[in-house]
A and B are shown apart, each in its own frame.
Chain A
Amino acid sequence: MEIFLIDKIVLIVAVFGITLLFALYSTYAERKVAAFIQDRLGPNRAGAFGLLQPLADGVKFFLKEEFIPKHADKALFILGPSVSMTTALMTSAVIPWGNSLELFDRVISLQITDLNIGILYVFAVVSIGVYGIMIGGWASNNKFSLLGALRASSQMISYEIAMGLSIIALIMTTGTLSIGEIVQQQNAPILGISGASWNIIYQPLGFLIFLICAFAECNRTPFDLPESENELVGGYHTEYSSMKLGFFLFAEYTNMFISAAIMSSLYFGGYNFPFMDQLGLPHNLVTIMGTIFLFAKIVLFIFLFMWVRWTLPRFRYDQLMRMGWKMLIPLALINIIITGLLIIVLK
């Protein structure tokens, strides 16, 4: 039992650290990608290639004046970013970061916990994430913050429906709610290639809907209306400063990392990679390679997030709502029907 606990604690600390590291360097990557797309070089003064820039930014966040507006609700004002950050970090618990390692005559799973309702857990935690933004916007006692918070919450609600519906079609094909099992199933051979039966092959439309909704859930462009800086100053974080602002921004990047991980796990085979069982390599090595592949997929998704951000302008609010309710939800429903019909026909 103690050994089990030690395993889990080590894993939790590792995942926590890696998540934060990724969020930290996402800020750097974002600036670099933005710069490169705009024919600039981006930060390159702090350290080699500007690699120490995130540390400098972090130090700056800590040293900035901590300011709480006079009319703000102090308790809620502090609670807002805390909720955002906590929920952003909680989701990583159910993501399988790798298969399993055989160490000291024991099998250690690289998933912190394989909840049998893992997907529901993810959705529940992500939904709580809106509260952080909502509370922060409300507590600021500022009309711009409140508008940003309102936009965030209504946008999240609209897109969570389509996201949930696209996941239902996926669950229909996999028959399980556990993310660990869903990833395991994608190891099945297809056309003689092991580890390649990724769900994207069975659910292309579902993935597309999920991807679009993930953009909306992360408040990324073209759906970054909650913080649209040219109409709402800064949206829900207008009144925030110092590390509390840092928490909000950090939560956004953590969310991006987590949703990239979830998309890789649900649709792109997670830690599975083609020919993984046919290489004849020892199990531990394959597991480590799988983890590396998972992180490669995550990095690609994060790059996609940034690529889209620096390509597209922001949607108008009515366009956003029309797209969510009139396009994505019907499409997701059609996807469910088609999936159901195909399951009946093929079985």
Chain B
Amino acid sequence: MHSLSNRSKVVVNKEMTLKEKMYLPAIFGGMMITIKHFFKRKPTIQYPEQKREFSKVYRGRHILKRDEQGRENCTACGLCAVACPAEAISIVAAERKKGEEHLYREEKYAKTYEINMLRCIFCGLCEEACPKDAVYLTEELAPANFDRSNFIFGKDKLVQPIGTSAHPKTYKPYKK
């Protein structure tokens, strides 16, 4: 059969030559390889003290943005939920009442906004789909938990805390 990679070798059960039978040249060759690795720089990152830099396009857990005046951007249009291939997002919309203008930017807002972190595949399609700059994926890892029900993140965990930097593109709330 024609080989695709040109790297396959035909296995033959041939007799070992004298050099191979002596084992020692091969053993010595192997030991030279290991001693080279012995003195190599180690790529280990000492985790709690050192942390690996995330990539600039890293997609971690979500955040729901507020605008410059601290109003929630989300209008509960549902495009993120539609875009989500894992169907992890569920939204219940509500109408803004009089006197809530300082809380929500537009007339409609998300009463509940839940992301099931066990279903989410962190593809970032919700971020792509959002027309209102509301949902973003940050650099933080979704934390572990003992209870499945705790993986359903509601608005309490998702909405950006008031007073943090407002610009969505530069917003990296969990970076030190």
Residues of A within 8 A of B (CB): 33, 36-41, 307-308, 310-312, 323
Contacts and interface: CB of A to CB of B under 8 A. Distances in A.
B27 A311 contact: yes
B31 A308 contact: yes
Contacts of A39: 37, 40, 42-43
Interface in B26-76: 27, 30-31, 33-35, 37-40, 42-44, 46
Interface string B1-34: 0000000000000000000000100010011011
B139 to A, nearest CB: 26
Contacts of A38: 37
Nearest to B43: A39
Contact of A37 (B23, B34, B44, B46): B34
A40 B44 contact: yes
Contacts of B31: 307-308, 311
Nearest to A323: B23
Interface residues of B, number: 15
Per CB-CB distance, the 5 closest pairs between chain A and chain B, nearest first, are A311-B34, A311-B30, A37-B34, A41-B44, A36-B38
Contacts of B30: 311-312
A33 B38 contact: yes
Interface of B: 23, 27, 30-31, 33-35, 37-40, 42-44, 46
A41 B27 CA distance: 24
B34 A310 contact: yes
B120 to A, nearest CB: 33
Nearest to B30: A311
B44 A307 contact: no
B37 A312 contact: no
Nearest to A319: B23
B42 A41 contact: yes
A310 B27 CA distance: 11
Contact of B37 (A37, A41, A323): A37
Nearest to B35: A307
Contacts of B39: 36
Nearest to B22: A327
A40 B42 contact: yes
Contacts of B23: 323
A305 to B, nearest CB: 12
